[in-house]
Amino acid sequence: MKMNFKSIVLLSTLAIGGFSCNNFLEQEENGIPAHEPKANLNMQVTHHDGAPFQTNESSNQRYYDSPGGPVMMQAFYWDVPAGGEWWNTVKGKLENWSNQGVGSIWLPPASKAQNGPFSMGYDPMDYFDFGDYDQMGSTETRFGSGPELRSLIGEAHSQNMEVYADIVLNHNSGGQLEANPYTGTDTWTKFEPASGKFFRTYNDFHPNLDANNDEGVFGGFPDLSHVKGYVQDWLWKSNESVGKYYKNDVGFDGWRFDYVKGFGPWVVKEWMNNVGGFAVGELWDGNANTLKWWVDNTDRTSSAFDFAAYYAMKSAFDGNDLNALNNDMLWKKDSYRAVTFVANHDTDEIWNKHLAYAYILTHEGYPCLFYRDYEDWLDRGMMDNLLWIHKSFATGNTSILHVDNDEYIARRNGYNGNPGLVVYINNSDNWQERWIPTNWSNRQIKDYTGHSNWEPWTQGGTWVKIQCPPKSFSIWSTK
């Protein structure tokens, strides 16, 4: 959910066994061996400082199963251009994203909202209008028309990518005034959507005969009451429900649940048990135990954005103390259910993003890229290189080898024949070197970022000296 200010989060633990994120979890948690990685096609491109980056060579290689697993792209930012062209804009990006290893995209709330052609979708009015009905001041949404959305989803599927819908279940907006016997006032709770589906009255919001309130109210909007059977039927239970229509008719593969602090985790559990797909919840809380509690109380049907990792990275990279990376994080407690991220449409506070992306794309969890970071703000060669490293080597569990104020070194221990990697982050002003233990005996290794030209051999006892440039990172694996 976007707040009223602009602020100044699994799968990669083991080798992926199938494209679907849910198949991945089912296969790996049941111990089914993953597929062998396909042939690596790679070439060298040059970073702005002249150092070579390793990247994927093929210009028409769609996303494919890889040892490190998929990466998610948040395919929007706050206040994307209005005018109904966003679905077409995203569609035009899909081939490149897929080529680089992005396996899924998260779209903004796609249905008609109170602010019509200007809304970012977080004030939902008609869940079944994707830009097909003339209401709330327009036919198209800010992002485009219903046919354009379906075309985007079809193209994503042709690129072997999954598509996640942003679902706002806590509240609604855009209703008409009606006399409300539970408040003794007139409330904006009468909804008669042009789609003809999911009409609502004061009985479907708090307070009502069955419940005065639930876990949270957002911004004074009418607060949906999920204990009501009518609301449950329309959201997830019936064959005509929002969830089943989005999944079975429109083609969405999963869900990003907005503002889950506003309702109990049982709501997500019920949705997932009735509808299925992938799920991640926006529980804006930096406490890893709270995030784990929420995931567990969805019966582990949903992941959560790893806000604990987000705040630890901010402290580490902007606060100049890498010891913060020792903090507890959701990916350390439940890597299968942690979606890690560096920025999103609500919060964009980390300044040293290159170090943060090096962290999430080499560690456990399901990494999520922010559209503007990839498309507009950060060095594309660096990002594509990190994506290539992620899908090539980011396998196995994690061993933290060294942490101090300026240096952080961790090892991914590899899986199913994949060698894994060692990541070295240096936040000091000078080159650093350090001896570290690896899983590789008598093997030559190299830095796949090109930041170091060393290609040392590990000793028989697996130890080797590696180096890292100032305010940067190096990532090592076998040649």
The residues carrying an active-site annotation are 258, 282
Residues 6+ apart with CB under 8 A from 98: 61, 62, 63, 159, 160, 161
In 73-145, which ranges are continuous DSSP H helix?
Answer: 86-100
Which amino acid appears at position 33 of this protein?
A: P
| Distance separating the N- and C-terminal Cα atoms of the chain | 44
Residues 6+ apart with CB under 8 A from 333: 288, 289, 291, 292
Closest CA to 358 of 305, 408, 432: 408
Residue stretches of the annotated binding site for Ca(2+): 170, 233
Are the C-beta atoms of residues 390 and 366 closer than 8 Å to each other? no
Please give the DSSP secondary-structure letter assigned to residue 319.
T
Q: Give the Cα separation of 171 and 335 in Å (integer).
A: 30
SS3 content of the chain, % helix, strand, coil (to 5): 30, 25, 45
Q: Give the Cα separation of 415 and 36 in Å (integer).
A: 11
Q: Give the Cα separation of 465 and 458 in Å (integer).
A: 8
φ, ψ at 325 (rounded to 5°): -70, -5
- Facing residues of 300 across strands? none
Are the C-beta atoms of residues 85 and 119 closer than 8 Å to each other? no
Q: Give the Cα separation of 222 and 272 in Å (integer).
A: 24
User: Could you give the dihedral angle defined by the CA atoms of residues 283, 275, 67 and 370, in that order, rounded to the nearest 10 degrees?
Assistant: -40
Please give the DSSP secondary-structure letter assigned to residue 171.
B
DSSP string, 379-426: -HHHHHHHHHHHHHH--S-EEEEEE-SSEEEEEE--BTTB--EEEEEE
Which single residue is written with the structure tokens 């006032």?
185
Q: Give the Cα separation of 446 and 428 in Å (integer).
A: 22
Q: Give the Cα separation of 230 and 170 in Å (integer).
A: 15
Residue stretches of the annotated binding site: 170, 233
